[in-house]
Amino acid sequence: MSLTFDFVQPEPAATDRITLFADVILPLPLPKLYTYRVPYEMNDDVVIGGRVIVQFGAKKTLSCIVAAVHETPPALYQAKYVLEFIDDAPVVTQPQLKLFRWMAEYYMCTLGEVINAALPSALKLSSESRIQLHPAFVRDEPAYPLSEPEEKIVVALSTEDGKAMTFTDVGELLGNTNFHKVIKSLIQKDVIFLFEHLADKYSPKVVKKVRLAHHFVEENVLEGLFQQLAGRPKQLDVLMRYLQKVPVYQNVHANHQGTEKASLTSSPHLSPSAVNTLIKNGVLEQFDVIVSRFPLDDSPEAKMPFTLSEAQLTAQADILKQFTEKDIVLLHGVTGAGKTEIYIELIRKALEGGGQVLYLLPEIALTAQIVTRLMRVFGTRLGVYHSKFSDNERVEVWNGVLSGRFQVVVGVRSAVFLPFDNVSLIIVDEEHESSYKQYDPSPRYNAREVALMMANFQGAKTLLGSATPSVETYYQTRAGRWGLVSLTKRFGEAGLPEIELVDTRKSRDAKKMLNHFTPELMSEMERKLAMQEQVILFQNRRGYSPFINCLDCGWIPKCKNCAVSLSYHKHAHELRCHYCGFHDRMPVECPACGSRNLKTVGFGTEKIEDDLKVMLPQANVQRMDLDTTRAKNSYQQIISDFENQVTNVLVGTQMVTKGLDFANVSLVGIINADSIIHYPDFRAHERAFQMFVQVSGRAGRKGKKGKVIIQTADPAQVIFDKVIRNDYLEFYEYEITQRREYGFPPFMRVIRMTVKHVDQLVAEQAAILLTQELVERLGREAVLGPEAPYIFRIRNFYLQEITIKLDREHTVLKHAKGQIAAAINVVKDQKEFRQARLVADVDPM
């Protein structure tokens, strides 16, 4: 408990009673905390970071987090009472609260929004929460005695099969007496479980187990049983196996735990029917046990040792040495240099020191392979936090961190929200990845920056890893503030791939293009496939074609909600908008002129796949993009098919650039490099360089030299030269000069304001006013715009953008954010702009 009160004086007189107030964080986008009064008799129950239930407004009952407790009554209003206290220990720890406050301030959002993003929804009880009888609960023999109100609920829930009750129902049933306590108690006793109204149907993971019926446990009775079963060899086998698994002779109590039913039926000479007969005859009894979704498998073979190479050892020593002087170190290692092994060693060392470890990875790099590898080393101490996880699994990880069960967590962006309180090492792998930045729902945070702040608050060291570090990060190492360790050799004998530029314009002029393939790429593919080697093709656009065009009247289908053309998806036979999800059937004829001459223009992954199936009929081609990986296990399926060489060619979007380490890939093709380079953004070159180098890294592993072919209409562009020589430093020098000259990060901070309104004119006017207000407060030179972005309408909202550039200095930044907030308020106070949405994105990517 984080709060202590001075109750030393014995029996305080009633008039001396302390009145406490709790400032709570509501899970809503409200700018401030709300103060509720704690009932006297509950003074001991307030926990900072614990959940409480309050009435908010006339109707709503919300669960929220206590952020502070004090004795100052609000001057301007009468505080309502806290209705109930749910937790007797914090679910949100003090270090988390501190970090969340920082996030809210830095990313210009409310604490409520941060809390909302942070808490797994199963921790957010709302009036929509419902309860249901636990499937493993047997009414006639409860494991714990039930109180009267508890019994009442059980009866009500038992009347119908699988009946659910809302909190309101429970309240009515019990006459509104502190029913949350009752519910919580029932949950603890595994009598009921809680689920969110619309959330997927929770089913606790249940394992069928069997044990010896209790009257057989005694040794002499057991002997008698053997006699009885003498003529039934199958059943005897099962029994012997059971006694082998559960040493009832040595330890009578072991029988209570029993063993998994599956363990008695799995091996071939044991028959499941014999097990069932034993159960039927009352020799064995079957029972259900709820198990963790993260099994406790601490088998001894788990601790698989491995040895680091000379280069890895040197790098590791260097990192540790730099950590003695610096809190942040960048491990700049070429793809395939073996960074993961170094991470594992460092994690092991950090754990020996008693601290927690957070290992962040981008979504697409967090694969089953890496988790298995980490599991082998860290066993049950490892927690995994992934976006494909169900809410129940998330809560298990959250609680596991709180209880200390998980000391290492490998996870994606949102893992920075977990309740760490003693982190000693944070690893941010692929630190340059833009997927660490959350864009759409607020908080628009960058997990790398949040991780750095968490490390700062908790005195941890941070290791950033990348083959292509972000310019901002590398700048910090150059300035000497952060450490730098480089790994320039690939693990094993694998050399870096040979990169060849192929001029698409030349081929096109010579009429030699085969669909979107140059003859060079085509013949190289054929050659590699003939050698039974695999190919990865990268095309940064999904769908079949980005738009279609009527050859007779020029009609191009556009999205009705967004200012974009609709992409053609051949397989689904649809036209789709990639911004709002609108879709429509592909028309047979032009709706404008009736012509049937509809032509696809441009190409995406689907067309590449389609063409290849015709051009390389002997090859097995698979596509990996958002459309083919939507289903739950499809991503893993595609990867394992490719790994097992079921597929020969993998065509994909950015997904193919990360984390796929396959020894047999000897060719990588980038179909259209130009679309990546020409992007209206100051980070376009950085992103392009990173993408090319990362995807190139997929070619050639384990001693095989790979080849990369980049198709471009303009091979003379400066960036290619640096990609071909894999010269990060040269790229950095070139890029940093540009950044300095044009005043971009790391020299300046960028805050991007977006103004949205359904009416284009109003959006423009609001943006103009906002710009004026910003200029007034921050100066003309700090404010750029307003300007309509390239895609100026999304989901029926017209957009206007304003870019604010600020000095990096902390105090300036803090002051500026106050000024921006003030400017936003001026616009918002204008009643014609009430409907406008003004969004600030700090450090946009």
Q: Which stretch binds DNA (CB under 7 A): 23-31, 228-236, 293-301, 743-751?
A: 23-31
Q: Least Å distance between CB 33 and DNA?
A: 7
Q: Least Å distance between CB 78 and DNA?
A: 7
Q: Least Å distance between CB 172 and DNA?
A: 18
Taking CB under 7 A as the criterion, the residue among 55, 276, 369, 422 binding DNA is: 55
- Separation of alpha carbons 699 and 666, rounded Å: 5
Residues, the chain, total? 845
Taking CB under 7 A as the criterion, the residue among 13, 15, 41, 77 binding DNA is: 77
Q: Least Å distance between CB 112 and DNA?
A: 9
User: Does 109 carry a binding-site annotation?
Assistant: no
For residues 43 and 18, is the Cβ–Cβ distance under 8 A?
yes
- Separation of alpha carbons 129 and 195, rounded Å: 6
Provide the 8-state DSSP code for 640. Answer: H
332: which strand partners?
Answer: 466, 486
Of residues 59 and 780, the one with the C-beta less far from DNA? 59
Q: List CB contacts of 819: < 8 A, sequence separation 6 or more.
A: 774, 777, 778
Other beta carbons within 10 angstroms of residue 277's beta carbon come to: 16
How many residues form the binding site for DNA (CB under 7 A)?
Answer: 23
Q: List CB contacts of 796: < 8 A, sequence separation 6 or more.
A: 561, 562, 758
Of residues 55 and 515, the one with the C-beta less far from DNA? 55
Q: List CB contacts of 766: < 8 A, sequence separation 6 or more.
A: 755, 757, 800, 827, 830, 833, 836, 838
Q: Which stretch binds DNA (CB under 7 A): 27-35, 223-231, 671-679, 776-784?
A: 27-35
Q: Which stretch binds DNA (CB under 7 A): 74-82, 203-211, 389-397, 409-417?
A: 74-82
Q: Which stretch binds DNA (CB under 7 A): 24-32, 298-306, 324-332, 370-378?
A: 24-32
User: Does 559 carry a binding-site annotation?
Assistant: yes
Q: Is 80 in the site for DNA (CB under 7 A)?
A: yes
Phi, psi torsion values for 508, nearest 5 degrees: -65, -45
Q: Least Å distance between CB 79 and DNA?
A: 4
- Separation of alpha carbons 271 and 151, rounded Å: 41
Q: Least Å distance between CB 833 and DNA?
A: 9
- Separation of alpha carbons 330 and 749, rounded Å: 21
Q: Is 60 in the site for DNA (CB under 7 A)?
A: yes
Host H or E run for residue 536: strand 534-538
Helix, coil or strand: residue 370: helix
Taking CB under 7 A as the criterion, the residue among 79, 154, 164, 289 binding DNA is: 79
Of residues 27 and 469, the one with the C-beta less far from DNA? 27
- Separation of alpha carbons 27 and 63, rounded Å: 8
For residues 437 and 416, is the Cβ–Cβ distance under 8 A?
no
Q: Least Å distance between CB 82 and DNA?
A: 9
DSSP-assigned states of every residue in 727-771: -HHHHHHHHHHHHHHHT-TTTEEEEEEEEEESSHHHHHHHHHHHH
Of residues 78 and 159, the one with the C-beta less far from DNA? 78
For residues 213 and 258, is the Cβ–Cβ distance under 8 A?
no
Q: Is 56 in the site for DNA (CB under 7 A)?
A: yes
Taking CB under 7 A as the criterion, the residue among 215, 303, 814, 834 binding DNA is: 834
Closest CA to 114 of 425, 433, 442, 337: 442
Kindly state the greatest CA–CA separation across the chain: 99
Q: Is 2 in the site for DNA (CB under 7 A)?
A: no
Q: Which stretch binds DNA (CB under 7 A): 54-62, 156-164, 245-253, 509-517?
A: 54-62
- Separation of alpha carbons 558 and 286, rounded Å: 61
Q: Least Å distance between CB 397 and DNA?
A: 26
- Separation of alpha carbons 744 and 738, rounded Å: 8
User: Does 64 carry a binding-site annotation?
Assistant: no
- Separation of alpha carbons 283 and 427, rounded Å: 53
Of residues 32 and 215, the one with the C-beta less far from DNA? 32
User: E strands of 353-505, at which residues?
Assistant: 356-360, 382-385, 408-411, 423-429, 461-466, 483-487, 498-503
Q: List CB contacts of 403: < 8 A, sequence separation 6 or more.
A: none
**Binding positions for DNA, 29-48, rule CB under 7 A:** 29-30, 32, 34-37
Q: Which stretch binds DNA (CB under 7 A): 57-65, 245-253, 493-501, 608-616?
A: 57-65
**Binding positions for DNA, 792-831, rule CB under 7 A:** 831
User: Does 580 carry a binding-site annotation?
Assistant: yes
Taking CB under 7 A as the criterion, the residue among 15, 16, 59, 585 binding DNA is: 59
Q: Least Å distance between CB 149 and DNA?
A: 27
Q: Which stretch binds DNA (CB under 7 A): 70-78, 234-242, 358-366, 388-396?
A: 70-78
Taking CB under 7 A as the criterion, the residue among 74, 295, 459, 703 binding DNA is: 74
Of residues 77 and 630, the one with the C-beta less far from DNA? 77
Q: Least Å distance between CB 63 and DNA?
A: 13
Of residues 27 and 483, the one with the C-beta less far from DNA? 27
Q: Least Å distance between CB 30 and DNA?
A: 6
Of residues 32 and 560, the one with the C-beta less far from DNA? 32
Taking CB under 7 A as the criterion, the residue among 6, 13, 57, 301 binding DNA is: 57
Q: Least Å distance between CB 562 and DNA?
A: 20
Taking CB under 7 A as the criterion, the residue among 8, 14, 58, 614 binding DNA is: 58
Burial class of residue 253 (count of CB atoms within 10 Å of its CB; 0-12, 13-18, 19+): exposed
Of residues 812 and 821, the one with the C-beta less far from DNA? 821
x/- track of binding to DNA for residues 239-268 (CB under 7 A): ------------------------------
Q: Least Å distance between CB 542 and DNA?
A: 30
Of residues 128 and 503, the one with the C-beta less far from DNA? 128
Of residues 111 and 709, the one with the C-beta less far from DNA? 111
Phi, psi torsion values for 370, nearest 5 degrees: -70, -35
Phi, psi torsion values for 380, nearest 5 degrees: -80, -5
CA distances from 639 to 369, 666, 668 (A): 10, 16, 16
- Separation of alpha carbons 137 and 191, rounded Å: 6
For residues 329 and 322, is the Cβ–Cβ distance under 8 A?
yes
Q: One-letter amino acid identity for 393?
A: E
**Binding positions for DNA, 681-720, rule CB under 7 A:** none
Q: Least Å distance between CB 796 and DNA?
A: 14
Of residues 41 and 829, the one with the C-beta less far from DNA? 829
Residues comprising the binding site for Zn(2+)? 550, 553, 559, 562, 577, 580, 590, 593
Residues comprising the binding site? 550, 553, 559, 562, 577, 580, 590, 593
Residues that bind DNA (CB under 7 A): 28-30, 32, 34-37, 54-60, 74, 77-80, 831, 834-835
